[in-house]
Structure 1
Amino acid sequence: MRSILIINPNSSNAMTEALKPLVDRLANDGTSFSYFTAPSGPASINNDADAASSVDHCLPALRPLLKSSDAFLVACYSAHPLVPTLAREPEVIRGHKPVMGILEASVIASLLLVNQGERFGIVSTGKVWEELLAAGVAEFLGSPSSARFAGVETTGLNAGELHDAPAELVQSRMKEATRRLLARGNIGAICLGCAGMAGLGELVREACVEVLGDELGARMKIVDGVQAGAVQLDATLRMGR
């Protein structure tokens, strides 16, 4: 049995619980998924400082779990420092255990899904992520600009507010950000740029249908980074055995 640990580096148990149905849809007889929530620290990672702080809160509690899992998915949509930190852990190195972040996983999936001449983009939370995620994508692709990346549009809501704010506000902000991204042109895939957007992909789909019409809107690829990461790590483990 292959085992993948999905790590929520913020301290919100509700956010971790929201990830489980997404991953359960992908389950197969050969792979088990377990979950970790930061025992303390920021309940919502809203900037680079929060991300850095979350490493200190997570790492001591994670170290005893490294031996019992074969791969690790960091479920924060950012260039999260926990990914390279875990990759340097002796147990991870000895076991050749892959570590991935959901930003990187969603970029890989999007590049495979878009057609020639199309681009992918990201819908995320607070405005600070427009620059941070664009930089993270550029670093991952090895280029400060890419003809295949359309950029980032944001809702102005943080991860916690996606589930705590009034539903009408969340719906309008998600759709507005999606419309702005579509206006950039030639969009073939949209990444949900926050683990807290679990289950909100349908709002993105509705906005795509409203802007592009039923046929084109239904064909838009909507990429959830947690699902993408779970599938990619599972495939990696299968190839390595």
Structure 2
Amino acid sequence: MRIVIANVNTTEAVTEAVRQQAMKAAGPGTEVVAVTPSFGPESVEGSFESYLAAVAVMDRVAAVREPFDAVVLAGFGEHGKEGLAELFGVPVVDITEAAAHVAGLLGRNYAVVTSLRRTLGQIEDRLRVAGLAERCVSLRATDLPVLELEADPDLAARRIAEQAVQAVDVDRADVICLGCAGMAGLAEHVEEATSVPVVDGVTAAVGLAETLVRLGLRSSPSAYPAPRRKTITGWPVTGSRA
């Protein structure tokens, strides 16, 4: 099995952290191909950057040698899942949806702890589109930029744990979802602080992607029809199944 993990930003250190987390979750025989967009923002912290990153991710995944069996979109609350599903037809698992789905199996509700406050509306929109918002009791932010999570993991772990404790004690969350791919590897620390299950989106997405592939399932062509055109002016979509 071959799974492509697409970082949404151009920071290689984030791609490597996501790759390592994905490898821990992947089963024997699964090849993880982690990719970084060739253009776009160094961190995605708002809708403008998210839409730009969506194009960059589709461009980068289209350049990956086929075949591959699934794609994981490693950006929490980001755009682009539907476009990837149309291009390739394979299962495309967004870490936002994966984390929320898994959290729903572990408790009656969940809370999300993410990086910046400005991204909360974007995450809420993604959850609503996916039909997963009803069981989300709160969205909380550390107000640490994405790249600071990577630069100072000790500070990041402390701030995330603080918000997670508030989500459990004040918002009565049963499960915590880590709302940023840059938080990969911090679930255990947060679980120790809260004593509730903590779901890392990358781990959840890899596990779900593997399950879908093993079940022989693909993205529905009625939901995600192949593009009518293989190319857009100035940008060849080499990976299209059309």
Whether TM exceeds 0.5 here: the answer is yes
Q: Could you tell me which residue of structure 1 aligns to residue 138 of structure 2?
A: 151
Q: Deviation above 4 Å: which 4+ runs of structure 1?
A: none
The alpha-carbon deviation at position 233 of structure 1 amounts to 0.7
CA RMSD of aligned residues (A): 1.9
Which position in structure 2 is the counterpart of 1:128?
118
Give the Å deviation of 1:62: 2.2
Q: 1:64 to 1:238 in 2, by over 3 A?
A: same
Q: Unaligned stretches of 5+ in structure 1?
A: 209-216
SS at structure 2 position matched to 1:106 = helix
Q: CA deviation at 1:21?
A: 2.5
Alignment of 1:23-172 (within 5 A): 23-65=22-64, 67-78=66-77, 80-89=78-87, 92-93=88-89, 97-114=90-107, 118-141=108-131, 146=134, 148-165=135-152, 167=154, 169-172=155-158
Aligned counterpart in structure 2 of residue 239 of structure 1, from 200, 215, 227: 215
Is the CA contact (8 Å cut-off) linking 2:36 and 2:60 kept in structure 1?
no
SS in 1 for 2:111: strand
Provide the residue aligned with 2:180 in structure 1: 194
Aligned counterparts of 1:150 and 1:20: Cα–Cα separation in 2: 30
Equivalent in the alignment of 2:227:
none
Counterpart for residue 204 of structure 2:
228
CA distance in 1, matches of 2:3, 2:153: 34
Letter in 2 for 1:81: H
Query: Secondary structure of the equivalent of 1:223?
Result: strand
Deviation of 1:41 (Å): 1.3
Which residue in the other structure is 1:8 paired with? Answer: 7
State which of 201, 204, 212 in structure 1 corresponds to 2:190.
204
Does the CA contact (< 8 Å) of 1:134 and 1:151 recur in 2? no
In structure 2, distance between residues paired with 1:53 and 1:27: 29
Q: Deviations over 1:61-112 (max 9, x none)?
A: 321326321110000011x2221111121xx13xxx1111100111110111
2 CA distance for matches of 1:20 and 1:159?
17
**Inter-partner Cα distance in structure 1 for 2:216 and 2:159:** 42
**Larger helix percent:** 1
Gaps of 5+ in 2: 218-242
Alignment-mate amino acid for residue 135 of structure 1: D
- In 2, are the aligned partners of 1:174 and 1:203 still within 8 Å (CA)? no
> 1:165, CA displacement in angstroms?
4.0
For 1:138 and 1:58, the matched residues in 2 are separated by 22
One-letter amino acid of the structure 2 residue matched with residue 14 of structure 1: A
Give the superposition deviation at 1:166: 7.5
Partner-residue secondary structure (3-state), 1:55: helix
**Normalization by structure 1: what TM-score?**
0.83
Deviations, residues 146-187 of structure 1 (Å, cap 9, x unaligned): 2x22121100011111122473x4344223211221233432
Evaluate the alpha carbon distance shift between residue 170 and residue 27 of structure 1 in structure 2; reply closer, same or farther with a 3 A threshold. Answer: closer
Q: What count of residue pairs does the alignment treat as equivalent?
A: 217
Distance in 2 between residues matched to 1:182 and 1:45, nearest whole Å: 27
